[in-house]
Structure formats: structure tokens, C-alpha cells
Structure 1
Amino acid sequence: MTDFDNVQDEDAKLCPFFQQQKEECYKFFDEWTDPEQTDFIQSCLAKMSHHQHSQINTYLRPMLKRDFISLLPKRGLDHVAETILSYLDVGSLRCAELVCREWYRVITDGMLWKKLIERKVKAYPIFAGLAKRRGWIRYLFKPAPGEQHPNHLFYRRLFPKIVRDIENTERNWRGGRHNLQRINCSSESSRGVYCSQYDDQKIVSGLRDNTIKIWDRNTLECTNVLTGHTGSVLCLQFDDKVIVSGSSDATVRVWNVEGGQPVNTLIHHCEAVLHLRFNNGLMVTCSKDRSIAVWEMVSPSDITLKRVLVGHRAAVNVVDFDEKYIVSASGDRTIKIWNTSDCDFVRTLIGHKRGIACLQYKGNLIVSGSSDNTIRLWDIESGTSLRVLEGHEELVRCIRFDHKRIVSGAYDGKIKVWDLVAALDPRKPDSSLCLQTLSKHTGRVFRLQFDEFQIVSSSHDDTILIWDFLGPDDAS
């Protein structure tokens, strides 16, 4: 019996006619419309004391609660209950399983742990990468014809393993623990691997012996050699259709990625092509001749020169771009910004004390490496130098960054891993920024690329090294 019921009983004792009057009130109340009933109750509440309000609130609170998740399936709306719970984060979903049997049934029947994993695979590269590396990608999304996915418990047990994998990988990055694989690219005429790029199936490398070699990611065996350049292959990029390479022979060549057949040769620069980037029908190349060429790529065989950008006073060593800006860096110690749409010059960034050998541009951030042995972080809009990273002993030749870390390679043969988040925080001391130094190359590091799990680097020592931070599979 509630306190409110006790009050009613006491009132009945005090007034002999209370029960009779109450019944008469019920008759009037039942004849009124909803708005009239509400108005009457509000008027009664206005005449009551604070103490009475508290008692009524205690009585009403449980009446206002509804277990809508349990009620929806009873009305044939299981899918609505599943959709509501599917928006929960990991911790909330764990708690929801413990509410009652009906909630647990909705979560189980709706395969909500599977759906949670699928959302994270779509949203986060580390989940997508793990799905491929560990092989559980085959248990997600639509099953292959003739196959059936596991039950709910498989995904409920899989999720903690995924979290452990992610945590272990981060600890390995910070602790420098890795498995190392080596590709020996040496030949009679080979004296260095100037550039490389990889995907899940292959590594494509440009060599000083004028060739492009393609390596199988699983066997690390050479599967194809592309010949045609008459000078060292200094830069390259590939997608699912073409490989584009630049050489000290001053040409840019286009190759079919399937089979490696030559498709096109672009002759414009009068000295070595030092770097190139292409994306969404646009390509930008730069050269020792101090110029930057902007190309329109209709197809692999239909590439036309759109604009030539001049302004640097020394070799242009590297370019990068997106839909807003083209960014170039030169031996003249400057970084120049150009509008992508009309190729107009925007601004010059000045800060490095010697020539700039490498950079990457993404969002509002530029990270550059120089022969002054430093790395600089820049705000592209303001042109402000945000931080200077020191630690390499020779020219910083290659650099890449993602949302968490910067990885740099230098002529001192070392690869350094830096904490990007800390580097962007001016309160963090310089001593906390370099997480690890990796020293397995015996020659200058020319190029590197990395993802959530690995670094792939190439060097003057004729090797490509694969630094894997993922670690063994947790089968427990």
C-alpha cells in the first residue's frame, strides 16, 4: 500500500461522506472530455500543498514508466525494438542485455552485436583492416551464396577479441614491437629502391635500375617487371586501373595495373620527374626543372596538360593536393599553396632553414621534412608553423601521417614514429613526441607508407621492409 492510499484511508475516516462524494465525483469525471479532465486535475493540484504534491509524485512516477522495448514485440514491432537498440554503444548494449529476458531476446534475435561490428567496420579503418587481416570479414554483411553466418554468440564473443587486437596493436606501435619481413630487390644493376606503394595484394616499387617491380604481398615474390624508362624510377602511384611513374629520364609513364602493359608516355618536363600525385581525373607532377604540371586525366590514354605552375627557385621535390589546394615543396626552402580549381597562387610558407624533401597535406594540416633534419607542422589556412620536430640526424626524405601518428624516414637510415595528437598540443614537451625509432635499414630511407597495422619502407640498401605491429591472432 502506498502513502497515497494511506492518505485516502485517513480521509475516509475523517469524513463519513467521503466515499459517497468520491463516487459522485467519478461519475462527473467520467462524463468529461480529456481536456476537461486534465483541467480539473490541474485545478485540484493548484489547491494542494507541497507535501501533497510530493505524495502524488511518488504515486505517479511508476505509472509513467513504460518498458517500450518489451511492449513493441507484443504488438508485432520487433523490428522497431531492434532498430532502437541498434543505436546503443558498446557499454550500453552490454547493459541492455542484463535488463530482462525480453531485452536479451531482442538483442539476440536482432543480431545486434553483428550489426555493431558491421557499423564499426564501415566507420573505422582499424576495424576494416582487422576484418581483412583476421579473416572475419567473411562473417559480416551478406553471406556468400550457399553459406550461413554464425549465431549471435559468435559475434558477442568476437567483439572483445577485436578490442584486444586494437589495444595490443597500439601498445606494439608505442613499444616498437613488430614482426619484420624483408624483400631483397638487389640485382646486378640495382642500387636502391626509390619509391613504393602497397595494397592488400601487392607492393609496387620503383628502382634505380630503371625498372618497376611488382611483389606479391603473401609470398613476397616478384610477379612482374615493367621496363621502358631509361632512367631511375623516382616516383609512382597506382590505383585499381593504372600505375603512373615518373623518372629521371624526364618522362611520366602510364601502365596497365593488370599485366603491366605500357599505356601512355607523357613528355613535358625537361629534367627528372621527382614526384607525382593523381586522383579524381587530375594529376600533378613536379620536376627538377622547377616547374609543376597539372594534367587532366580523362582516361589512361587521354591525358592532357592543363596548366604549368612556376614560382619555385629550385627543384620541386614533392607535391600533394585535394579538391581545394595544390601544395608543393622545393629545394628553395619554401612550400607554396595553389588553388586546385584555377591553379592561382595563394601563399608561401617559410620556416625551414634548408631545402624541403617531402610533405603530406590533409585537411588543414601540412607535415613537411627537410634537409635541415627537422619536421614541421603547418596550418595551411594561416600559414603558421605549429611545431618543429627534431630527432633525425640527416635529411628527412619521406613522411606520412594519419589521425594519430606521423611516420618519417631519413638519410640516417632511421624511421621515427611520432605522436601527432601530442605534437599539435603546444603544452606537450618535445621529449614526449617521438614514440619509437626503428633502425633496421642499412642505407638511406627513400619512401614509406603506413596504415593502422604496418609500415612499408624502401631504401638505398636495396630492400623493402614490412614492419607489422598487429601481432599473432588471439584464438583464445
Structure 2
Amino acid sequence: MTSESFKKANRGGPDFMVTDPTSSVSLASNLEISSHIQPGRLKLLTDEEHRVNLAANVRSIWSIPQAEKKLFDQEQYEKEAEQCINVFVKWEEHQQVDFITQLFSKMCHYQHGLINGYLRPMLQRDFITALPGKGLDHVAEKILSYLDADSLKAAELVCKEWYRVISDGMLWKKYIEHMVITDDLWRGLAERRGWMVTLFKPNSQGNAHKYYRSLYPKLIADIERIENNWRTGKHRLEKIVCRSESSKGVYCLQYDENKIISGLRDNSIKMWNRKTLECENTLTGHTGSVLCLQYDKNIIISGSSDSTVRVWSITDGSLQNTLIHHSEAVLHLRFQDGIMVTCSKDRSIAVWDMQSPSDINLRRVLVGHRAAVNVVDFDHKYIVSASGDRTIKVWDTSSCEFVRTLNGHRRGIACLQYHGNLVVSGSSDNTIRLWDIDFGSCLRVLEGHEELVRCIRFDSKRIVSGAYDGKIKVWDLQAALDPRTPNGTLCLRTLVEHSGRVFRLQFDEFQIVSSSHDDTILIWDFLDTEEET
């Protein structure tokens, strides 16, 4: 160290301090520096004085030649690091963790990043590969079975062992089975495409995994095509001409994958084969138009303008029961879980207990509407009714007590559906309204039909409506529930094929089935369109 540099380092400063030999400033360096100090200016520091004046000593050390300083720093570091490690390994585990925690708290973010990069590989464990080696293949399969489709595809590419676990565990088959159970669209595709018969059964074929792995992209392609066809209105149309002998018109219908059952203006109920579109049975007995019906796996229940409700065997079409209560036409009915609700032009609603087809008893009559009650729907919580008096009334299902009235339509209400907390209604004011049943508030008004909205259905994605203008409209339900969406964007598609009033419709993920005053039933297929078939 030169005299000039020493003077600059100590100009105006206190007596130069010699630190403890074990500090970061070495004894050798201090001795070198001390040769420039006059007698009487050298003194030892206490611990407290050392901490206070450490900064001044560090400034002086930078004037030491760099090569010499680096050599010293490395030797001193190795010595002190060894001492620290020797002490560290003697501590209990919790003491070691506590010490490292304190040490980390003294570090900067950059140091944390370096240490993280070192620790990450140490903490990684390929448990999927390790588990089968311990006889725990089923655990590895269970873990991977929680992946979604994109993650499952990525997992196949990790390594051969992961691919083997996925293949041997038939995880693509299990994924498809899970989707079929939980999603109506997947379940419908399984039935429509015919591969439902291979699911939920053990597979003995060696190439079964490849079959289901290749099936997945086909399913996705079908789903994308369906969604696009709904948006663009592309469909394949099938027609049933009912050929009624007297008065023409199909007032009501219900369908499944095997059959369509319709109620006609000529007083009959006709059962149609879903594949051949041929009439397989005709039920007669009503003396007026069949205005409403519903069926399950055992029975058909119908309501008529002859004021009666009739119960039929779905197997052979035999009449099981006739209920005489209403004094005028039975306009609508619904049944489920041992309860049936009917409504009538006589302004009343009847609630029935159903023990069997031959044992159906009146529980309660609900009175409150001031005009014909055109439609009812219900679940375990509420009965919902709509009337020509422009109101929707809500009743408690258990007690049959009145709950509230929904007001808003400017003319009589012809149709509604109730599900969850949502009611969707159609009226002769040509509008559709969406309601929150718990608060009684109108969420949205849909405009577009030119005449009375006669029938309406909705699912989680869409509302489909039919009107006396002969048109069927498809609406975006989720967009309609968002108050920020402009009204003009809500109608996705208008379908025009009927030549008369649309009386009734039902739809699922793949199709709409509608009936009309023109004496036809139309099937609008959005899966297998004309172009694709």
C-alpha cells in the first residue's frame, strides 16, 4: 500500500483501527497497514467498536492489490465455511431449519433465485415412474386419471413409462366414460354413434387403448361440428306427415332416441318409430283434441279439451285410468316423483298424488289466476303457472301455498319452462322473458317473433322458441343472462320450414323436434347434416 493511498484513506479520519484477526480484514493486512501508522495511534477494538467502524475498515481494504486480496478471501472463506459446516451438522434438524430460515431472510432476491435453481432439481421426483416399481401401478393410474384431456395427451409424451401407465390403465377409456356420465352431449354422441355398447365393460383386446385414444379426436370433431351447425343453422330435415283424418294439427309431443309420441287435434295419440318415422300405434279414447301429454318408461298421461286426464300403458297402449276433475279443457300437465300437476281453462291448478297408474288422488286445488291457466311446471321447491291473465304465479310444492307473482308481460302468457332459479316464458305480446324465480325479477326481454310465442324450451346453452308466425328461433341463453350483451346479438338463428303455427317443440344437443298446425312433425338434425350424410 503506498503512502499516498494511505493518506487518502485516513485523511480527516480517526486513529486507524486494527480489527480482530478473525474478521474479514486479515491480520497480515493490518500489519502491512500498521507500518504507516505513527506510534501511539494503534489500538485494539471491542466487539461493539468493531461493528461500528467496520465500514471504515472495508473502505481501506479495497486499496490492497486485487490478486492478493482474492487469494486471501478464498482461503479465509474456505476456513470459515468449514467451521460453520462443522457446527451446523451437530445441530438438531429443527435447529438447522431455523438457522437456514434466518439465513435466507438475510439474503437478497437474486440469491434466492440462485438457491431456488439449485434446489428445484433436488426436489423433483418422478413418482409416476417410481410407483409401479413398488407394485403401486394402481396409484399411478389413479393420479393420472384426474387429468383433463389436454394434460393426459401431454403426459403420454413425458416418457415411455408414463405412456405405459396410461395405456395399461385404459385412462382414455375411463376419461370418455367419465364425460359420458357427466355431460349430456357426450352421452348423446355415445348413443348416436353406437359406441356406448363398448363402454363401462372390461376390455380384453390388446389394442383397446389405441381404439379409445383414436376415438377422442373424433368425438371432439363431432362436438365442434355440432356447435358450428347450431350457430350457422346447418341441419338435416326429416318430416312426419300425420295425415289426420279430420281436424289437422299436432298440439303436443315428446320424444326419445326410439320414438316420438304426439297428441293430435283429431283426438288421437300417435306413436312413431324414431328411425323409420312410421306410425306404430294409435291410442283413441279422448273425445276432444289432445292438448298435452307426458310419458315415462311405463305410462303416458294425456290431457284433452274433453276436460279429462287419461293414463295409458306405454307398452300396449291400453287405457289404465281416467281422471275427471276439471270443468273445462286440460291445457297442460307435468308429472314426476309421485306428483302430477294439471292446469285448465277453468282457471285452476290441480295437484295429484300418484301411487300407481290406477291409484292417483287429488291432493289440492290451487286457485288465484283470473283467466285460463295455460301451462305449469314444477320441481321439489316450486310449482310455476302461467295464465291468460298476463301473470306467472309461484307456489310452494310441499305446502301448495302461494309464494309470489311475476308481472311484466303485456298480454296473456302461453308457455314457460322452469329449471333451477330460472323461468323463461313466452306470451301473446310476442316477447320472451327471463325471470329469477327467487327474487321475482325480470332479467331480460327477448324480441323477434312477429306473433304469439306458443312454445319454449331451454337448456344450459340455448333457448328455442316457436310461435304462431311459423318460425323457430334459437337464442344464446348465456349471453341473454349477461346484461352487457346487446339485444340484437341474442338471436342466433331463425328456422323457417313449417307452413303453419308452431304448437310444440322439444330439443336436445343434436336436434329440435317440432309440431305444427300444418299437421307435420319436423326433426331438425344438427349432427348429421345433409352435406355430411
TM-score relative to the length of structure 2:
0.81
Which whole-Å CA distance do the structure 1 matches of 2:212 and 2:396 have between them? Answer: 47
Query: Structure 2: which amino acid aligns with 1:115?
Result: K
Bigger radius of gyration among the two: 2
Q: Does 1:192 align with 2:253?
A: no
Cα distance in 2, alignment partners of residues 40 and 384 from structure 1: 62
Give the 3 Å change call, closer, same or farther, for CA 196–12 of structure 1 in structure 2: same
Change (3 A) 1:208 1:21: closer
Does the alignment pair 1:138 with 2:197? yes
Per the alignment, residue 244 of structure 1 pairs with 301
Residue equivalent to 1:117: 176
Match of 1:101 in 2: 160
Residue of structure 1 aligned with 2:387, choices 330, 338, 354: 330
Q: In structure 2, what is the Cα distance between the partners aligned to 1:51 and 1:388? A: 58
Report the secondary structure of 1:278's partner residue.
strand
C-alpha contact (below 8 Å) 1:206/1:213 kept by paired residues: yes
Question: What residue number does 1:25 align with?
Answer: 86
Q: Does 1:389 align with 2:442?
A: no
The gaps in structure 1 that reach 5 residues or longer are 1-9
Which blocks of at least 5 consecutive residues in structure 2 are unaligned? 1-70
1:286 aligns with 2:322: no
Residue 84 (structure 1) aligned with residue 121 (structure 2):
no
Alignment of 1:273-422 (within 5 A): 273-422=330-479
Counterpart check, 1:257 vs 2:303 = no
- Distance in 1, matches of 2:496 and 2:187, equals 29
Partner Cα separation in structure 2 for residue 53 and residue 143 of structure 1: 52
Match of 2:125 in 1: 66
Q: Contact 2:235 / 2:530 at 8 angstroms: preserved in 1?
A: no
Note the C-alpha offset of 1:188.
2.1
Secondary structure at the counterpart of residue 318 of structure 1:
strand
Please give the alpha-carbon distance, in whole angstroms, between the structure 1 residues aligned to 2:341 and 2:275. Answer: 32
Q: Over residues 314-354 of structure 1, what are the superposed CA-to-partner deviations in whole Å (9 max), with x where a residue is unaligned?
A: 11000000111100001111111101010100111111111
Specify the SS of the correspondent of 1:347: strand
- Taking structure 1 as the reference length, the TM-score comes to 0.91
Partner residue of 1:14 out of 67, 75, 79: 75
Deviations 1:69-109 (A, max 9, x none): 11111111111111111111122112111212211111111
| 1:329–1:335 CA contact under 8 A, matched in 2 | yes
Verify the 8 A CA contact 1:174 1:435 in the aligned structure 2. yes
Deviation (angstroms), 1:391? 1.2
Larger mean Cα displacement after TM superposition, 395-404 or 466-475: 466-475
Q: Is the 8 A contact 1:11 1:18 kept in 2?
A: no
1:410-444 CA-to-partner distances (Å, cap 9, x unmatched) read: 11111111111111122211211111111111111
Q: 1:310/1:77 Cα in 2 relative to 1: closer, same or farther (>3 Å)?
A: same
Alignment of 1:158-169 (within 5 A): 158-169=215-226
Say whether the 8 Å CA contact 1:202–1:214 is kept in structure 2.
yes
Query: AA paired with 1:376?
Result: R
Query: 1:456 offset after TM fit, Å?
Result: 0.5
Identical counterparts, % of pairs: 69
How many angstroms apart in 1 are the aligned matches of 2:331 and 2:110? 83
Residues 364 and 379, structure 1, Cα contact 8 Å, conserved in 2: yes
Q: CA RMSD in A?
A: 2.7
The answer (yes or no) to whether the contact 2:241–2:520 under 8 Å persists in 1 is yes
Secondary structure at the aligned position of 1:297 is classed as: strand
Deviation at 1:191, TM superposition (A): 1.1
Please give the alpha-carbon distance, in whole angstroms, between the structure 2 residues aligned to 1:149 and 1:257. 43
Aligned length: 463
Q: 1:56 to 1:382 in 2, by over 3 A?
A: closer
Higher relative contact order (CA 8 A, sep 6+): 1
Q: Report the CA distance between 1:14 and its aligned residue.
A: 2.0
Q: Is the 8 A contact 1:445 1:460 kept in 2?
A: yes
CA 1:46 to 1:308, structure 2 compared with 1: closer, same or farther past 3 Å?
closer
Relative to 1, partners in 2 of residues 1:11 and 1:456: Cα closer, same or farther, differing over 3 Å?
Answer: farther
Residue 359 of structure 1 contacts residue 366 of structure 1 at CA under 8 Å; is this kept in 2? Answer: yes
Provide, for residues 349-379 of structure 1, a one-character-per-residue CA deviation record: whole Å limited to 9, x for no partner.
Answer: 1111111110001111111111111111111
Corresponding position of 2:235: 178
